């Protein structure tokens, strides 16, 4: 591309004029700097061992937590929340991970009872909740269950949504403009379309055609007083284009891969009405370019060196002399020096089944210097996991997806050098995908709300203390938290004017019993507590329905999964075969010995029952298992009704008991299901033992060894709390020495998962593992980030073949 004459660039620089401290441009620059200081941005990326699973599998993942504009490992939050959400947008599981130096390893054990469907994995920190959910980590994971299928989704091929986006934001009469468009089907994926633009007289003014992702762009000159709409070929569909403005400004930005500059073109209908404009370009809050040129004509061109920008999404805004935005454009700046270069070499290209594989990893920067990097590796069988060259990577997420709103299809496509149209496709994405993490207006006014959620260095317990009898909030009351461990901990805090308290930075793993004791500022202990449970924020992320039909590959994957489970059961060393024994006995109704109210209408043991212990809330234990009991709700809002009990005057909620003590229904949210030994239901005449309290029936939960929540004495409660997930080790068989258990066929899908690989000061690391039994090709993926925030990923392959 031909460069602009140097004299022109000097002329533009000479036109820049800045006023004193009240200049809108200077206020903008100060605002962005203040934003980066007051609200440092955190991001989370999860690397999974594979993209899809069957019920009963385990999802293995590595969490990378970064902070700031340059994606360095976060020094702020150390608590990461990971949620599994089903197609009905209900919470299935919620984990808490302890992040050490910006990373954590975790796993999600999938219950056998999960339906087939696209599940959403969402991850965030408490600090990230100060922003919008759009910038949490989201990833759809497909889970198949042969026995429990979701209803087939009938696809409507005619259901199509197409939208048009003028570059810069507006159509202005008589000014040439680039118009981008995006067509999305009912499944949420881009659809190839073509068609024409016509005016109200049905005159064709432009034609358009999309790429395979449903996006494209065309040139267009709108005219005053005209209205335009699009006609889609082979579709009974028309779509209106935005209204044409009589006057205004149009911004055009070109970024050729072969040019070192961004070229800005500004066109106006009347430059005398503007005279001076403000131009500001920023990436992730870092101001990369600012200028205040005077308009001497209706056309201006400016070149900005790409070297001023870090890699990623840049926002370029043109504003008037008061700082009010006139046009805005997103552009992606791709720079190789922003990437970590990873290389994986193996000692052999072909291995035998069950042979030891030794891999060497090297991490370097763009100048070939060694890099200290934190990495994870997944190695999978190609016959069961289809390699996807256009998958999301840590680089595509941190530099692209995490700064854009909504779902991005095939994000890796824009970073794959094999795709010749990737630069053009990426620009179409910039023209059609929204970006509003921090707006131009907020920077100008320098006003944003004080963060509601603070950084968590551990776990947080929040609650309210009230008077035992008057139920009024206790102001400036003393709250003591005691846990015997491991590790033991004692904390003291005070309530505010509304009786609320918060205990911060508590660190414990697994589940533990804790005691909270309270007293008024006069030392009176006649108080009671309400402990907040983990809240679930409903997701607005598009959850695409699973296709009712399965591909041949998916059918084979499910069949192999069933085969693996059969093998696991056949070789389960915990199962002991006994000789046939005839037992003659009277079948008695099971009685829960923990109950002091005798046997109920129904009882069931939860402990050692995998189908029950994977539930997220105690009331889920009753769903579909107890006749006449209806349970609904989720999160903190649950309801339960025992049919045939009580009256309208008495309400509908049954008596809830925990270890024989009446409790509020909200108390159950604090009880981990795996801490419950059994439960019992009393209904009808069986509930008469409770008197009037049992008019709507009763439900009792009994914890292991009598744990749970209950008043020990005035002003004192004890409760079970679930802490950080205890990290599990991925199973890696060792075939160096023959053992009896090696007779079991080895048909692993994920051959190797290593979430904690660290290069040394020379940029090197090594790993080794054993293959499974099958002859196949294998694909490995390594992802990671350097200590200075450079992300990188690499794919490698090898073959397993018998000698």
Task: Give the pLDDT confidence of 153-167 residue by residue, as tens digits.
Answer: 544 445 899 999 999
Q: Residue 499 CA to chain centroid, in angstroms?
A: 33
Q: What is the mean pLDDT of residues 196-201?
A: 94
CA atoms within 13 A on the CB side of 378: 23
Residue 312: predicted pLDDT: 94
Query: In this predicted model, which residue has the larger pLDDT, 803 or 497?
Result: 497
**In this structure, what token pair is assigned to residue 332?**
């992606």
Do residues 272 and 243 touch, judged by C-beta distance below 8 A? no
Q: For residue 384, give the nearest of 142, 563, 145, 556 by alpha carbon.
A: 556
**Which superfamily does 336-391+727-800 belong to?**
Macroglobulin (MG2) domain (2.60.40.1930)
Q: Determine which helix (DSSP H) or strand (DSSP E) holds 326, and give its type and residue range.
A: strand 325-333
Residue 436: predicted pLDDT: 55
CA pair distance 12, 289, nearest whole angstrom: 13
**pLDDT exceeds cutoff 50 at 523:** yes
The C-alpha angle with vertex 259 and arms to 258 and 261, in degrees rounded to 5, equals 160
pTM, 2 dp: 0.81
Query: Between β-strands 249-254 and 261-268, what pairing exists: parallel, antiparallel or unpaired?
Result: antiparallel
Q: What band does 450 get if pLDDT is binned at 50, 70 and 90?
A: confident
Q: For residue 748, give the nearest of 47, 119, 57 by alpha carbon.
A: 57
CA pair distance 526, 518, nearest whole angstrom: 8
**In this structure, what token pair is assigned to residue 603?**
């009882």
Do residues 465 and 501 touch, judged by C-beta distance below 8 A? yes
Q: What band does 578 get if pLDDT is binned at 50, 70 and 90?
A: very low
Q: Residues near 395 by Cβ (< 8 Å), separated by ≥ 6?
A: 339, 415, 791, 792, 793
**pLDDT exceeds cutoff 80 at 510:** yes
Q: Look at 256-270, 397-411, 491-505, 673-687 and tell me which has the smallest mean pLDDT.
A: 673-687
Domain with CATH 2.60.40.1930 in the chain: 161-333, 336-391+727-800
**pLDDT exceeds cutoff 70 at 575:** no
CA pair distance 719, 710, nearest whole angstrom: 7
Residue 761: predicted pLDDT: 96
**In this structure, what token pair is assigned to residue 133?**
């959910």
Residue 635: predicted pLDDT: 66
pLDDT in tens, 562-572: 999 888 888 86
**In this structure, what token pair is assigned to residue 9?**
């660039």
What does the mean pLDDT of the chain come to? 86
CA pair distance 731, 647, nearest whole angstrom: 55
Q: What band does 684 get if pLDDT is binned at 50, 70 and 90?
A: confident
The values of phi and psi at residue 98, to 5°, are: -90, 115
Do residues 772 and 354 touch, judged by C-beta distance below 8 A? yes
Do residues 267 and 256 touch, judged by C-beta distance below 8 A? no
What b-and-e string marks burial along 159-172, b requiring 16 or more CB atoms within 10 Å of the CB? Answer: ebebebbbbbbbbb
pLDDT in tens, 83-113: 999 988 999 999 999 999 999 999 999 998 8
Adjacent-strand bridge partners of 142: 52, 118
Residue 311: predicted pLDDT: 94
DSSP per-residue letters across 65-123: EEETTTTEEPSS--EEEEEEE-TTS-EEEEEEEE-BTTEEEEEEEPPTTPPSEEEEEEE
**pLDDT exceeds cutoff 70 at 512:** yes
Query: Does the 602-713 domain belong in CATH 3.40.50.300?
Result: no
Query: If you count them, how many residues does the chain have?
Result: 803
Residue 76: predicted pLDDT: 96
Share above pLDDT 90 across residues of the chain, in percent, rounded to a whole number: 55
**Which superfamily does 161-333 belong to?**
Macroglobulin (MG2) domain (2.60.40.1930)
Q: For residue 532, give the nearest of 557, 503, 553, 558 by alpha carbon.
A: 503
Q: What band does 288 get if pLDDT is binned at 50, 70 and 90?
A: very high
3-class secondary structure per residue, 129-164:
HHCCHHHCEEEEEEEECCCCCCCCCCCCCCCEEEEE
Q: What band does 639 get if pLDDT is binned at 50, 70 and 90?
A: confident
Q: For residue 345, give the nearest of 36, 662, 768 by alpha carbon.
A: 768
The dihedral built from the CA positions of residue 740, 744, 746 and 748, taken in this order, carries a sign that is: negative
Share above pLDDT 70 across residues of the chain, in percent, rounded to a whole number: 88
pLDDT in tens, 714-725: 677 877 778 899
CA pair distance 801, 291, nearest whole angstrom: 63
**In this structure, what token pair is assigned to residue 34?**
């203040």
Q: Is 672 helix (H, G, I), strand (E, B) or coil?
A: coil
**In this structure, what token pair is assigned to residue 696?**
């709507």
**In this structure, what token pair is assigned to residue 740?**
């009896």
Q: What band does 240 get if pLDDT is binned at 50, 70 and 90?
A: very high
Do residues 160 and 128 touch, judged by C-beta distance below 8 A? no
């Amino acid at each position: 591309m031909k460069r602009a004459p140097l004299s022109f660039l000097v002329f533009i620089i000479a036109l820049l004029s800045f006023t004193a401290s009240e200049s809108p441009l200077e206020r903008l620059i100060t605002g962005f700097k203040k934003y980066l200081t007051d609200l440092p941005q955190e991001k989370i990326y999860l690397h999974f061992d594979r993209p899809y699973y069957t019920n009963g599998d385990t999802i293995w993942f590595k969490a990378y937590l970064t902070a700031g504009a340059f994606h360095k490992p976060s020094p702020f939050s150390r608590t990461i929340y990971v949620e599994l959400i089903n197609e009905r947008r209900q919470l299935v599981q919620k984990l808490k991970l302890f992040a050490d130096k910006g990373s954590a390893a975790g796993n999600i054990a999938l219950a056998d009872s999960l339906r087939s469907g696209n599940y959403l994995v969402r991850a965030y920190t408490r600090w990230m909740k100060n922003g919008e959910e759009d910038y949490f980590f989201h990833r759809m994971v497909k889970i198949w269950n042969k026995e429990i299928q979701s209803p087939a989704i009938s696809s409507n091929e005619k259901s199509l949504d197409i939208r048009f986006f003028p570059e810069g934001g507006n159509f202005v009469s008589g000014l040439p403009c680039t118009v981008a468009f995006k067509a999305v089907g009912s499944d949420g994926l881009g659809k190839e379309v073509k068609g024409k633009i016509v005016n109200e007289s049905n005159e064709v003014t432009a034609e358009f055609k999309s790429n395979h992702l449903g996006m494209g762009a065309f040139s267009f000159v709108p005219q005053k007083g005209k209205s335009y709409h699009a006609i889609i070929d082979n579709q009974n569909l028309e779509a209106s284009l935005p209204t044409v403005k009589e006057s205004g400004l149009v911004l055009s930005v070109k970024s050729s891969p072969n040019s070192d500059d961004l070229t800005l073109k500004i066109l106006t209908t009347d430059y005398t009405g503007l005279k001076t404009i403000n131009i500001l370009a920023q990436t992730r809050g870092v101001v990369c370019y600012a200028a205040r040129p005077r308009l001497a004509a209706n056309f201006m061109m400016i070149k900005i060196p790409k070297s001023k920008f870090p890699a990623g999404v840049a926002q370029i805004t043109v504003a008037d002399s008061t700082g009010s935005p006139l046009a805005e454009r997103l552009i992606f700046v791709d720079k190789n020096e922003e990437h970590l270069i990873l290389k994986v070499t193996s000692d052999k290209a072909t291995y035998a089944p069950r042979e030891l594989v030794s891999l060497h990893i090297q991490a370097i920067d763009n100048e070939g210097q060694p890099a200290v990097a934190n990495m994870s590796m997944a190695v999978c069988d190609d016959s069961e996991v289809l390699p996807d060259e256009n998958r999301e990577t840590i680089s595509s997420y941190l530099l692209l997806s995490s700064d854009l709103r909504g779902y991005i299809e095939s994000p890796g496509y824009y970073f794959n050098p094999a795709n010749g149209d990737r630069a053009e496709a990426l620009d179409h994405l910039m023209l059609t995908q929204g970006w509003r993490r921090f707006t131009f207006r907020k920077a100008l006014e320098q006003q944003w709300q004080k963060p509601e959620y603070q950084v968590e260095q551990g776990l947080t317990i929040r609650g309210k203390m009230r008077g035992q009898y008057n139920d009024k909030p206790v102001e400036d009351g003393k709250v003591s938290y005691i846990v015997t461990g491991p590790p033991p901990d004692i904390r003291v805090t005070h309530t505010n004017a509304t009786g609320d308290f918060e205990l911060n930075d508590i660190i414990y793993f697994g589940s533990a019993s804790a005691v909270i004791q309270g007293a008024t500022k006069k030392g009176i202990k006649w108080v009671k507590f309400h402990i907040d449970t983990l809240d679930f924020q409903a997701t607005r992320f598009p959850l695409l329905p699973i296709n009712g039909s399965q591909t041949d590959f998916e059918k084979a994957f499910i069949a192999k999964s069933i085969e693996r489970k059969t093998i696991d059961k056949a070789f389960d060393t915990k199962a002991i075969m006994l000789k046939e024994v005839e037992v003659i006995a009277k079948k008695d109704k099971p009685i829960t010995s923990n109950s002091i109210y005798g046997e109920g209408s129904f009882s069931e043991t939860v402990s050692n029952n995998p189908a029950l212990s994977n539930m997220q809330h105690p009331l889920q234990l009753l769903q579909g298992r107890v006749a006449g009991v209806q349970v609904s709700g989720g999160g903190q809002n649950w309801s339960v009704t025992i049919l045939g009990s009580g009256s309208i005057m008495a309400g509908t909620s049954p008596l809830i008991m925990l270890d024989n003590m009446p409790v509020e229904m909200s108390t159950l949210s604090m009880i981990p299901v795996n801490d419950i030994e059994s439960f019992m239901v009393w209904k009808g005449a069986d509930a008469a033992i409770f008197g009037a309290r049992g008019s709507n029936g009763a439900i009792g939960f009994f914890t292991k060894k009598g744990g749970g929540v209950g008043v020990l004495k005035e002003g004192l409660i004890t409760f079970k709390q679930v802490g950080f997930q205890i990290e599990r080790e991925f199973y890696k068989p060792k075939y160096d020495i023959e053992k009896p258990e090696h007779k079991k066929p080895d048909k692993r899908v994920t051959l190797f998962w290593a979430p904690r690989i660290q290069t040394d000061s020379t940029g090197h690391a090594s790993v080794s593992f054993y293959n499974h039994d099958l002859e196949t090709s294998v694909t490995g993926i390594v992802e990671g980030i350097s200590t200075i925030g450079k992300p990188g990923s690499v794919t490698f392959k090898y073959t397993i073949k018998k000698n």
